[in-house]
Structure 1
């Protein structure tokens, strides 16, 4: 395995962003991401030095990207350290600062994705190590993560702070994705209560999920960490997802897998 940034290997960009999401959540995740004007490819084009690719077999040997990590830089001046708006807020701050020519003094990870065919190999720890190196090279001492624990989709009605507080007998988080980050040196620092908010007409939600969306109230969708609130009369549904704030130090750091 070898980690590189897209600044080092721009030719890998298409393959990096072609890495799919797991089949059970792909339709929902891709739909939600499509609703955001701040796309991953736009971020990569602006800050390729903060997009990390994990290549199976090594770059020199013509290996293929099997995982990616996407970070953005932004300024924290006059802003909350860890905003409730999480993913959405940081993505907007990064874009606005870039347009306004504001110097960044911190970084935030917006995505880590591992190819479904390579899950269970501890590859996310390698991606995190590559992200720590990329952040250090950019001149930052740490980066924050509005973490989206996918296993919470099995319990969409449980508040995120309750879910994130669960631990095993050894004191590590009960959630496997949180546990991976903590083992890799991450520190849980809070909850971003409205990290990702999506508002769309019911026809769009039906296309994303394959569900009828024909009644008022909460609807559980495959891959959703929280219910989608539906109003048939208004022909609209709203999804508000909480994430877990973690922080990683820049540099090498531990690499102990999941």
Structure 2
């Protein structure tokens, strides 16, 4: 791995348009979560200090990775004593409401570490996670949480997340590589967020998003989904509810 140039968009606002220059990050259906627009539509303007890009020094046109986080408030007095069951969607909504209320954030939640497809498997995920941790410390946060999407759960869509996330290797570390990377970096696994992301659409939309026929009522396994998609021909809709795993990095 060559030396990298890693920066936040607050430090380099001139690179903001590069945020969207990485193709092939997520399957199409994953981009259809309606809550995501509450963050991504204004990520580069409202949250530039929480957006991190990595480049090879000789090429600032094509980032090799990006990392996004969102600040939010949590506490008993806010009616938010625990991390939300709706995980990724939940913290984005909380952050949206906090911003409207001009409420000071208490925590930072990771939203993604995305690696350009041709650079996956090169150690960039660990580098970007550490950059995210260091940025959180620099901004004064004492905790970084993340509704982790375990990377190999896609191979076992019928396995409950409660079973999958608790598997460990002989050395006691999580079996899943993305969970294992977080734990190695100092995180603890806090629990499952059973509905971290919800994506719904008509059958025509799901056919467009996936290329699958969606012609049978019941559960349909979709490539790259963590759980089956629930399909109703009678009501012309399909709903995907993705679970996640809350992890917590204490930064002090």
Question: 1:39: how far off?
Answer: 4.2
Counterpart-to-counterpart distance in 2, 1:158 and 1:210 = 24
Residue of 15, 19, 22 corresponding to 2:22: 19
After the TM superposition, which segments of 4 or more aligned residues of structure 1 sit over 6 Å from their partners?
Answer: none
**Match in the other structure for 2:86:** 85
- The RMSD of aligned alpha carbons is 1.8
Label 1:243 to 1:108 Cα distance change in 2 as closer, same or farther (>3 A): same
- Larger CA deviation: 215-224 vs 72-81: 72-81
Q: Is the 8 A contact 2:222 2:229 kept in 1?
A: yes
Counterpart-to-counterpart distance in 1, 2:208 and 2:82 = 36
Number of residues paired by the alignment? 246
Question: 1:15: how far off?
Answer: 1.7
Question: 1:62: how far off?
Answer: 4.1
Instruction: Return 5+ residue gaps in structure 2 as ranges.
Output: none
**Match in the other structure for 1:50:** 50
Post-superposition CA distance 1:53-107 (Å, at most 9, x none): 122227xx74742111101111113203211110011000101111121111111
Counterpart-to-counterpart distance in 2, 1:250 and 1:13 = 28
**Match in the other structure for 1:236:** 237
TM-score of the two chains, using structure 2 as the length reference: 0.91
TM-score of the two chains, using structure 1 as the length reference: 0.89
Q: Is the 8 A contact 1:56 1:63 kept in 2?
A: no
**Match in the other structure for 2:13:** 10
**Match in the other structure for 1:74:** 72
Question: 1:11: how far off?
Answer: 2.0
Question: 1:28: how far off?
Answer: 3.1
Q: Is the 8 A contact 1:29 1:223 kept in 2?
A: no
**Is 1:246 aligned to 2:242, yes or no?**
no
Aligned 1:176-255 pairs, distance under 5 A: 176-250=177-251
Counterpart-to-counterpart distance in 1, 2:35 and 2:89 = 11
SS at match of 1:37: helix
Aligned 1:166-185 pairs, distance under 5 A: 166-185=167-186
Post-superposition CA distance 1:4-42 (Å, at most 9, x none): 1110112222222221235xx523323x34674324242
Question: 1:206: how far off?
Answer: 0.8
Post-superposition CA distance 1:106-153 (Å, at most 9, x none): 110111100000011111111111111221122111110000113111
Counterpart-to-counterpart distance in 1, 2:127 and 2:113 = 11
